[in-house]
Structure 1
Amino acid sequence: MLNCRDEIFFLTNQLVNIESIVNTEGEKEISQAIYTLISSYSYFRDNPNRLIKQRTLNDDRERYNVVAYVIGTKKKSNKTVILMGHLDTVGIDDFNHLKEKACYPEELLEALKDEQLPRLVESHLNSDEFMFGRGVLDMKSGVASHLYLLKYYSEHPEELEGNLVVVIECDEEDSSHGILSALPLLKQLKEEHQFEYVGAINSDFVSPRYEGDPNRYIYKGTVGKLLPSFFITGAETHVGSCFEGLDPNFIAAELTKQINYNPELCNEAFGETTVPPVSLKLMDLKPSYTVQTALASYVYFNFFIHSWSPKEVLDKLKLQAEIAFDHALTAFKDRYQLFSEMSHQPNIDVPWQTRVMTYEEMDQLLMTEHGDAYAAHMAEFKQKLLLDSELDTRMFSAKVVEEAWKWMGDRSPAIIVFYSSLYSPRIEVTGKDELEKNLIASLDLAVSKMQPNYSHPIVTRNFFPYISDMSFVALSDDEDGINAVSSNTPCWGSKLFVNYQDIRDINVPVINIGPYGFDAHKQYERVELSYSFEIVPNLTNEVIQNLLKS
C-alpha cells in the first residue's frame, strides 16, 4: 500500500485554507495555487507542456481548470486513465458565527468544542478521526488524493503501463463550465498523443445512505438530473370578484401537491431507486402588489433519473400537470358552488378546461401561426435578456416563455412544461461493452484486494446519487432524449448550450471512488481520515494499475 495519509492530510488542509466558493474570485486563486504546486514537481519542470491552466469557454466569469498528464514508461501503451475532481465549494454562510473559521480545519475543530453539538457530530469531533471544514469532504480531500497520485507517478513513470491524465475543474457546484470546457482539451490530447481513454475515476464525496449505515460506497455511473419547470397562466380578476377569474397560484399549489414527494416519479433501475422530485421554486410573476390576481406563476422541481430519458420525463410530467389541472378545476367549481349557495348568488358555468402543453409544442404552434415575425422577435428578446448578467438560466427561461405566451391567440389558462437549467445526463456502467467490462473487473479486483485493510464493508452501487461532473464524460441517452432537452429549454442556444458531441467524442465509462464523511454542504461538513486519506487513494491506484494492464 502507498503510505499516503500524512501527505494527503497536509494537501487537503492547504486546499481548504483557500476559500474557493463557486462564482467567486476564490476559484481563480485555488486554480493558480494548484497550478503552482504541480509546476514545482520535477517532472513538470522538465515537461512544462504537460501541465495546462485552461480558462473556461463561453463563460461570463474568468476561472480556470488545471489539467496535467504523465506518460508512463513501463510499457509503451496508449491506454490512458482520467482522474477528475472539482476545486470549487458551496458558500460558508451556514457556519454562522464560525464563518471566519470555516476554511481553517484546526481552528474550527477547537471552536466546535465550545459548541452544543448533535450527539453524532460531537462523537466524531472527539474521535481524532475526522477533519471539519468547508470543502474537506466535497471535495478537496478527493482532489488531494488525485494530486498525490499525480505526484507519485510523475516521480515513478516507470511504474505506469500507460498514461494518466488529471483534470481538476472549476464550477462543478453551479453550471459545470469547468468540465464542459475540459472536454475539447481532452479530445485535443487524445489526438495529439493517441491517448486511448479506458476509464475515468471521479473522487467526489460519499456518505451513509441511512442512519447507522456501515458501508463505504463506490459508484459505477451516476444519477441524471433535470429541472422540469412549469409556467402557469390563469385568468386575472379583481380579488373582490375572485370567482370571475382563475388564480394561477391555485393551480400551482395543486401542481406542487401532485408532484412533490410523489413516489410514482421515482425511477427504479438495477434495483436502485431515485428520490422523488422536490420543488425548488414556487412563485408568481407579479412585479409588485396590486389587488389583481397574478397573471402567471412559475414552479420548478429537482428531478433525478436512472433510466428514464428527458423525453419520458416530459411525458410523465405533462400527465401529472393534467391531473393537477383537473383537480384544481374540480376544487374551484366545488368551492364556487358552495360560495354561491352561501351568498345567494347565481353560479355561472366555469369556462376553462384543462390545458397543458410542452414548450416545444407551444413554440411550434407559434411558428406555424406567426413564422419569421415571431422567430425574429424572440431572438431579439433573448439578446436583450442576455444583457442582464444577474439573470440565471431558470429566470431567463421563465421570461422567454412568458414573452412567447403573449403571441398566443388563445390565452385561456394553461400550463407550459419545459426545462430551465443544465441537464446533467445519467450514466449507466453495466458492462455493455469491453471498456465497461474492463473497468468493472478492475474495480472489483481492487476492492477485493483493499477490503482486508479496512474494517467497514466497501460496497459497489450503480448510480452516484448526487449531481456531479461525472455526467459529462459519457452519454447513455439517445438522440431523441437529448433533443427533448434542447427543444424544450427556452434558453438553449443563448444563455445555455452544451455540445453533446464533445461528450460523445470522449465517451469514457466513469466510476466514483471518493472520500467518506458527513454533512456535505452543511456547517458540520467532515471527512473520515482513515478511509479517505488511506483507502481511497490506494483503491484508486489499484484501479489505475488494473485498467492499464487489462
Structure 2
Amino acid sequence: MLNCREEIYFLTNQHVNIESIVNTEGEKEISQAIHTLIASYPYFRTNPDYCIRQQTLNDDRERYNVVAFVKGTKNQSNKTVILMGHLDTVGIDDFNHLKEKACFPEELREALKEEQLPNVVAQHLQSEQYMFGRGVLDMKSGVASHLYLLKYYAEHPEELEGNLVVVVECDEEDSSHGILSSLPLLKQLKDVHKFEYVGAINADFVSPRYEGDPNRYIYKGTVGKLLPSFFITGSETHVGSCFEGLDPNFIAAELTKQINYNPELCNEAFGETTVPPVSLKQMDLKPSYTVQTALSAYVYFNFFIHSWSPKEVLEKLKGQAELAFSNALEAFKARYKQFSEISNQPYLEVAWRSRVMTYEEMDQMLLAKHGDAYVAHMAKFKQELLLDTSLDTRMFSAKVVEEAWKWMADKSPAIIVFYSSLYSPRIEVTGKDELERNLIASLDFAVSKIQPSYEHPIVTRNFFPFISDMSFVALSDDEEGINAVSSNTPCWGSKLFVNYQDIRDINVPVINIGPYGFDAHKQYERVELSYSFEVVPNLTNEVIKNLLKS
C-alpha cells in the first residue's frame, strides 16, 4: 500500500488555495502552478518534453491544460493508462460572509466552528475527518491523487510496466474546452510515442446516493447530458382581447408541466435509472413591456441519458410537446367557452392545431422553399450574432431559431424542438470488447484487494451520475445519434462545434475512482480524508498495474 495521505492532503490544500473558478484568470494561474510543480521533478527536468502546458483550442479565453507522462522501464510496453481530472471549480458566492475563506481550508474550518450548522455538517466538522472548502471535493483532491501517482512513477519508472499519462484539464464546469483541446494532443502523443491507450481513470467526486448510504462508489462509464430546448410561437393579441390570440407562455407552462419531473422520461439501462428532466429556463422573448402578448417563448431542460440516443430523445420530446400543445389548446378552448358564457359574448371556433417540428425539419423545409437565399441570410445572421459576446450557446441558438422562423410562410402557433448546448455523450463500459473486459477485470481485482482493509463497502455501478469530461474520451453513440445533435443544434459550426472524430481517435474505456464527500458546488463542500487520500490512490494504482501487465 502506498503511504500517500499526507502528501495528497498537502497537494489538495495547496491547489485549493488557488482560486480557479471556471472562466476566470484563476484557471491560468493554477495550470501554471501545476505545470511548475511537475516540471520541478527530476524526471521531468531530464525529460522536459514530457510535461506540456497546452493552451485550449477554439476558445474565447486564454487558459491551459497540463499534460504529463512517464514511460515505465519495468517491461517496456506501449500500453498506456490515462489519468484525468479538472482544475477548475464553480464560484464561491454561496459561501456568503465566509467567501474570503472559501479557498483556505484551515481558516474556513475555524470560521465554521462559530457558525450555526446543520447537524450532519457539524458532526463532520467536529470529527476532523473532513477538509472543507471550494474545490476540495470537486475535484482538487482527485487531481492531487493523480499527481501523487505521477510523481511516484516519475521517481520509480522501474516499477511501471507501460506508460502513464496525466491530463489535468480546464473548463470542465462550463463548456469542456479543456478535454476537447487535449484530444488532438493525446492523438499526437499516441502517434509519436506509440502509446496504446488501454484505459482511462477519472477522479471526479462521489457522494452518497441517499441519506445514510454507507457505500463508496466507483463508476464504469458515465451518464450522457443533453439540453433539449423549445422555441414556442403563439398568436399575438392585445391583452384586452386575449382570446383573439394565443399566449406562447400558456403553451410553455403546459410544456413544463408535461416534461418537468416526468418519470416517463427517465432512461433505465443495466438496472440503473436517470433522474427525470428538470427545467433550467422558462421565459418569453419580448424585449420590453407592452400590453401585447408575447410572440414567442423559450424553454429548456436538463436531460440525462444512459442508453437513449440524442435522436431518440428528440423523438420522445416531440411527442411530449405535441401532447402538451394539445392539452394547452383544450384548456384554452374550455376557458374561452366559459368566458363567452359569463360575458354573453359569442364563442368563435378555435382554428389552431397542435404543431410541433424539430429544428432540422424546419430548416430543411425552409431550404427546400428558399434555397441559397435562406442559406446565405442565416450564415450572415450567425456571423453578426457572434459579435454579441454576451450570448451563450443557449441564447445564441434561440435567436437563430427565431430568425429562421421569420422565413416560415405559415406562422400559426408552433413548437420547434432543438438542442442548444454541448452534448456530453453517454458512455457504457459493459465488457463488449477486450479493452473493456480488461478494464473491468482490473477494477474488480483492485476492489477485491483493497476492500478487506477498508470498513465501508466499495460498490461498482455502471454510470457516473453527474456531467463530467469522461464523456469525451469515448463514444457509445452511432453516427445517426451524433448527427441528430449536429443537425438540431442551431449554433453548430458557429458558436459550438465538437469534432467527434477526435474522440473516436482516442476511444478508450473510462471509469471513475474519485474522492468521497458531500455538498459539491455548495457552501459546505467537504471531502472525507481516509477514503479520498488513502483508498482512492491505492485503488487507482492497482488498476494501473493490472491494466499494464503484459
TM-score normalised according to structure 1 size? 1.00
- In the other structure, the counterpart of 2:179 is 179
What is the match of residue 524 of structure 1?
524
Structure 2 SS opposite 1:126: helix
1:189 shift after superposition: 0.2
Secondary structure, aligned partner of 2:548 = helix
Structure 2 partner of 1:438: 438
Counterpart in 2 of 1:461? 461
Tell me, what secondary structure is at the counterpart of 1:171?
coil
SS in 1 for 2:127: coil
Q: Distance in 2 between matches of 1:231 and 1:109?
A: 47
Q: Where do residues 419-430 of structure 1 align in structure 2 (5 Å cutoff)?
A: 419-430=419-430
Is 1:489 aligned to residue 465 of structure 2?
Answer: no
Correspondence 1:197-216 to 2 at 5 A: 197-216=197-216
- In structure 2, the partner of 1:81 is 81
- The aligned counterpart of 2:61 is 61
1:137 is matched with which residue? 137
Aligned partner of 1:263 in structure 2 is 263
Per the alignment, residue 156 of structure 1 pairs with 156
**Which position in structure 2 is the counterpart of 1:345?**
345
Letter in 2 for 1:10: F
User: Which residue is 2:24 aligned to?
Assistant: 24
Structure 1 residue 457 displacement after superposition: 0.2
Counterpart of 2:473 in structure 1 is: 473
Cα offset, 1:50, TM superposition: 0.3
For 1:88-107, list aligned pairs within 5 A: 88-107=88-107
| Cα distance, 1:303 vs structure 2 | 0.1
Distance 1:114 1:530 in 2: 25
Q: Give the match for residue 70 of structure 2.
A: 70
1:175, 1:465 → 2: CA distance?
Answer: 18
Tell me which residue corresponds to 1:368.
368
Q: Distance in 2 between matches of 1:376 and 1:116?
A: 61
Following superposition, the deviation at residue 453 of structure 1 comes to 1.6
What CA distance in whole angstroms lies between the structure 2 residues aligned with 1:286 and 1:98?
39
Deviations 1:291-321 (A, max 9, x none): 0000000000000000000000000000000
Residues 251-304 of structure 1: CA deviation (Å, up to 9, x unaligned):
000000000000000000000000000000000000100000000000000000
2:14 match? 14
Q: Which residue of 2 aligns with 1:323?
A: 323
Quote how far apart the aligned CAs of 1:415 are: 0.1
Q: How many residue pairs are counted as aligned between the two chains?
A: 550
Q: Please state whether the residue corresponding to 1:446 is helix, strand or coil.
A: helix
The residue that corresponds to 2:417 in the other structure is 417
Partner in structure 1 of residue 509 of structure 2: 509
Q: Secondary structure at the match of 1:283?
A: strand
Deviation at 1:351, TM superposition (A): 1.3
Deviation >6 Å, runs of 4+: none
Q: In structure 2, what is the Cα distance between the partners aligned to 1:90 and 1:165?
A: 26
CA displacement 1:19-46 (0-9 Å, x = unmatched): 0000000000000000000011000000
Tell me the C-alpha RMSD between the 2 structures. 0.4
Give the superposition deviation at 1:388: 1.2
Question: Counterpart of 1:418 in 2: which secondary structure?
Answer: strand
How many Å separate the matches in 2 of 1:388 and 1:346? 48
Question: Which amino acid counterpart does residue 256 of structure 1 have in structure 2?
Answer: T
Residue matched to 1:252: 252
Secondary structure of 1:27's partner?
Answer: helix
**Structure 1 residue 114: deviation in Å?**
0.6
Q: In structure 1, how many angstroms separate the alpha carbons of the residues matched to 2:340 and 2:389?
A: 49
2:289 is matched with 289
Deviation at residue 537 of structure 1 after TM alignment: 0.3
Distance 2:154 2:533 in 1: 20
Q: Counterpart amino acid of 2:428? A: E
Partner letter of residue 173 of structure 1? E
How many Å separate the matches in 2 of 1:190 and 1:240?
68
Correspondence for 2:239 = 239
Distance (whole Å) between structure 2 residues aligned to residue 159 and residue 493 of structure 1: 46
**AA in 2 matched with 1:80:** T
User: 1:493-514, CA deviations, whole angstroms, 9 ceiling, x for partnerless residues?
Assistant: 0000000000000000000000
Aligned to 2:312: 312
What is the letter of the counterpart of residue 201 of structure 1?
I
Q: How far 1:390 moved relative to its partner?
A: 1.7
Q: Which amino acid counterpart does residue 544 of structure 1 have in structure 2?
A: I
Q: Which AA in structure 2 matches 1:257?
A: K
Q: Secondary structure at the match of 2:444?
A: helix
* Cα displacement string for residues 348-405 of structure 1 (whole angstroms, at most 9, x for unaligned residues): 0111000000000000000001000000000000001111112100000000000000
Corresponding position of 1:278? 278
Counterpart of 2:121?
Answer: 121
Distance of 1:211 and 1:415 partners within structure 2: 40
In 2: Cα distance, 1:452 partner to 1:537 partner = 16
User: Could you say what secondary structure the match of 1:141 adopts?
Assistant: helix
What corresponds to 2:393 in structure 1?
393
SS for the counterpart of 1:199 is strand
Q: For 1:167 and 1:454, locate their aligned partners in 2 and report how far apart those are by CA, in whole Å.
A: 28
Deviation at 1:76, TM superposition (A): 1.2
SS at match of 1:549: coil
SS in 2 for 1:282: strand
> 1:213 corresponds to which letter in structure 2?
D
Letter in 1 for 2:489: T
Q: State the shift of 1:162 in Å.
A: 0.1
**Quick one: distance in 1 between partners of 2:51 and 2:182?**
13
Q: Distance in 1 between matches of 2:50 and 2:18?
A: 25
Deviation at 1:118? 0.5
Match of 1:225 in 2: 225
Instruction: Report the alpha carbon displacement of residue 186 of structure 1 after superposing the two structures with TM.
Output: 0.2
AA matched with 1:79? K
Q: Secondary structure at the match of 1:427?
A: coil
Percent identity between matched residues is 86
- Structure 2 equivalent of residue 110 of structure 1: 110
Secondary structure of 1:328's partner? Answer: helix
In 1: Cα distance, 2:50 partner to 2:40 partner: 13
Deviation at 1:477, TM superposition (A): 0.1
Q: Give a deviation string over 1:313-347, Cα, whole Å, max 9, x none.
A: 00000000000000000000000000000000000
In structure 1, the gaps of 5 or more residues are none
Tell me the amino acid that sits aligned with residue 228 of structure 2.
P
Structure 1 residue 107: deviation in Å? 0.4
Q: What is the CA-CA distance between 1:234 and the residue it aligns to?
A: 0.1
